[in-house]
Amino acid sequence: MTQTPVQPSPQPPVAKKVPAPRTHHGDVFEDNYEWLRDKENPEVVDLLKAENAYQEAVTAHQEPLREAIFQEIKGRTQETDLSVPNRKDGWWYYSRSVEGKEYGIQCRVRAQDTGDRVADWTPPAVEAGVDLPGEEVLLDGNVEAEGKPFFAVGGSAVTVDGTLYAYAVDNAGDERFTLRIKDLRTGELLPDVIENVFYGISFSPDGSRIFYTVVDDSWRPFQVKSHMLGTPVTADEVIYQEDDVAMWLGFELSADRRHLVLGIGCSEFSETRLLRFDDPGAGLTTVISRDERILYEAEPFLLAGPDGEKTETILLTHNKDAVNSMVSLVDPAELAKPVAEQHWRTVVAHSDDVRVNGAGVTATHLVVSIRKDTIERVQVLPLAGLGTPAQGAPVEPAFDEELCTAGVSGSDYEAPVIRMGYTSYFTPSRVYDFVLPTAELPAGELLLRKESPVLGGYSSADYVATREWAEASDGTRIPLSVLRHASVARDATAAGLVYGYGSYEMSMDPGFGIPRLSLLDRGIVFVIAHIRGGGELGRHWYDDGKKLHKKNTFTDFIAATDWLAGSGWVDPARIAAMGGSAGGLLMGAVANLAPEKYAAIVAAVPFVDALTTILDPELPLSALEWEEWGNPITDPEVYSYMKSYTPYENVRAAAYPKIAAVTSFNDTRVLYVEPAKWVQRLRELTTGSEPIVMKIEMEGGHGGASGRYVQWKERAWDYAFVADALDATELLPGAGLK
């Protein structure tokens, strides 16, 4: 009898060692894999291709599961769909998606003005797959992407009169865009083409100029420029250049489009500069100097007084004597005085329990975004009487779910409504128009415009979301969102996945996700850990997870894992962890701290070689990271603290679980070299036998490849890796597509 020879197990690629000592503050770290940074080196490219080949061999048995999850995502998604039209000036703008096509199609139809304000701002009924009379296609992403390895739009803008359309396209995945302008009357492109622009573009109100941002060599936006249509790009004017390498620059038009508003800042303080469109020769004026170390945003607008006369006023959302921020009004004349002598009128007072995220204005109302009890909310106040004893009470649109997210997704200055997005873990995203309160309608009115359809027999009743609390080692209570299929029994046999981020004051807010259902349907209990470093519980929550408190982020995540292990829902031996970008640093840190607690770890575009990156201010975004992690170049305490937790330096002799590092060759935020070095070091030192793989998208950026089907396949890969490692590949009885 002939025996089938046993196939040798695939062997991981082994990178050669080229010692490269890194010396700072008297400390020497021997880095054997730094040579992998040279992406032009054919040896590096060959190694990365070998990594993909190894990953494909190790995970080949997961292909049927990946395909099943992909088909579940596809089967639940209404592929031919459209957005709710959004009115801007005299047009309704919306996007269509078409089954079988990767990219959206941007369209518009003309709006009507009948004199009935709410009716005129009621979007037209657009049907999937059916053209509206008078529909114009502004940009078909499928046509634009044809023959290109990558496609993403980094911004678009239309002139007030609706005749010109500008759009910025990236065909490499490196988030540097080419700006083009289309004449919507003829369909022809103007000869004006601007290369290497950054996100965000705007026309001047008169349509004669277009504003855009440029990044420097370290990928930091540092210039706002103005292009006069019909003139050479070489003649474009630099409106402002920010030379501080630790400051980020952006711009927008004020809500009433009377000013260009430049925002300069970091996460700890900022500066706003204004340019009046009716007097551009006056140049830029500074609202509050960065030297005051105040973190603020400023919105200039015209506020009517008791006599009805409108005067120039500036709305400030700021943290002056207010760690959670507050909202004030200031007259421009006050800005000439020292800040300590200026008179600011309080509109929204500071609260230890409420974080003010931002504020803006319409022609009639102040709109404030706040966070309370971890949840994002919206409040509106009438402009009449604002900042005086006659100020009206805030009105908050009411929703009936505890764990939900409601935010303003767009509003036009003149509109009687604000557009709002709403979602929860098991409520598909909804679009509402909130009719702003009036004397006749004091509570306002929520008008549901759309709930995104979910196909395949989806029912929210099949799933459960609860708020639980883990306890950190220092006694801090960590909020958790625990998601599961309703049929999972609490008998300590299920599998579990813990997801986290915990940086930059970013909150992991409740939101619906079709791909996640495929894990829940396989009995995996999904825990989102709202750890310190995020913004869920106010500014203190962020401050307690950054710089010299960063380790709280990692130990909070482990506390969340321990809660899950002891919850009665899961088998402690069947827990995985997942996170991306700064959440990938989190994955690397917990892998070093507690490898025994996880059966598998997925780290997407992981910031695992953070210290090397931040020590080199020439690398993309490095200087901007100092506000988050500290500056290890100048501060030996920061260097020592970072070196004690950064994943690459702290890989040790331990039995690491299955690990997948997922990255992109052209990522400009977290360079591919970080996970490439990390997996080599992990394989070198692990005492276990579990595979450590790297999946690298050779044509994608920080968000992976472009195109929705490709992105679904990437998510299916991640989830199949987790489900396979947890032995949770089969659907629960009655779960899945119906």
8 A C-beta contact, residue 575 and residue 565: yes
Specify the 3-state DSSP secondary structure of 499. strand
8 A C-beta contact, residue 416 and residue 121: yes
Question: How far apart (Å, rounded) are the C-alpha atoms in residues 250 and 580?
Answer: 25
Catalytic site residue from 227, 318, 485, 702: 702
Q: Which residues contact 91 (CB under 8 A, 6 or more apart)?
A: 108, 109, 110, 111, 158, 162
Q: In a 10 Å sphere around its CB, with 0-12 CB exposed, 13-18 middle and 19+ buried, how is residue 129 labelled? A: exposed
CB atoms within 10 A of CB 738: 10
Question: Measuring CA to CA, how many Å separate 450 from each of 112, 131, 369, 453?
Answer: 21, 18, 22, 9
**Is position 24 annotated as part of the catalytic site?**
no
8 A C-beta contact, residue 76 and residue 455: yes
8 A C-beta contact, residue 600 and residue 624: no
8 A C-beta contact, residue 562 and residue 577: no
Question: SS3 string of 176-209?
Answer: CEEEEEEECCCCCEEEEEEEEECCCEEECCCCCE
Which residues of 403-552 form beta strands (DSSP E)?
404-410, 417-424, 430-435, 445-451, 463-471, 477-485, 494-500, 524-529
For the sheet containing 209-215, what is the strand order? 201-203, 209-215, 221-228, 237-241
CB atoms within 10 A of CB 44: 18
CB atoms within 10 A of CB 697: 22
Q: Which residues contact 375 (CB under 8 A, 6 or more apart)?
A: 402, 403, 404, 405, 509, 510
Q: Name the residue among 640, 620, 642 with its Cα closest to residue 176.
A: 620
Token digits of residue 201: 């573009």
8 A C-beta contact, residue 264 and residue 271: yes
- Convert 134-165 to b/e letters by CB count within 10 Å (16 or more is b): ebbebbbbbebbeeeebbbbbbbbbbeebebb
Catalytic site residue from 509, 667, 706, 718: 667
Rounded to the nearest 10°, the torsion over CA 498, 502, 507, 513 is -30
Angle at Cα 280 formed by Cα 359 and Cα 358, nearest 5°? 10
Specify the 3-state DSSP secondary structure of 484. strand
Question: Measuring CA to CA, how many Å separate 318 from each of 259, 292, 396, 582, 637?
Answer: 20, 12, 21, 26, 30
The alpha carbons of the chain give a radius of gyration, in whole angstroms, of 27
Question: How far apart (Å, rounded) are the C-alpha atoms in residues 378 and 421?
Answer: 11
Question: How far apart (Å, rounded) are the C-alpha atoms in residues 400 and 382?
Answer: 24
Question: How far apart (Å, rounded) are the C-alpha atoms in residues 29 and 445?
Answer: 61
Catalytic site residue from 581, 622, 664, 706: 581
Question: How far apart (Å, rounded) are the C-alpha atoms in residues 720 and 710?
Answer: 15
Please give the full DSSP string across 360-428, using - where no structure is assigned. Answer: EE-SSEEEEEEEETTEEEEEEEESTTTTSTTPPPPB----S-SSEEEEEEE--TT-SEEEEEEEESSS-
Question: How far apart (Å, rounded) are the C-alpha atoms in residues 736 and 521?
Answer: 6
DSSP one-letter code for 165: E
**Is position 667 annotated as part of the catalytic site?**
yes
Question: How far apart (Å, rounded) are the C-alpha atoms in residues 601 and 253?
Answer: 43
Q: Give the type of residue at 419.
A: R
**Is position 46 annotated as part of the catalytic site?**
no
Active-site residues: which are they? Answer: 581, 667, 702
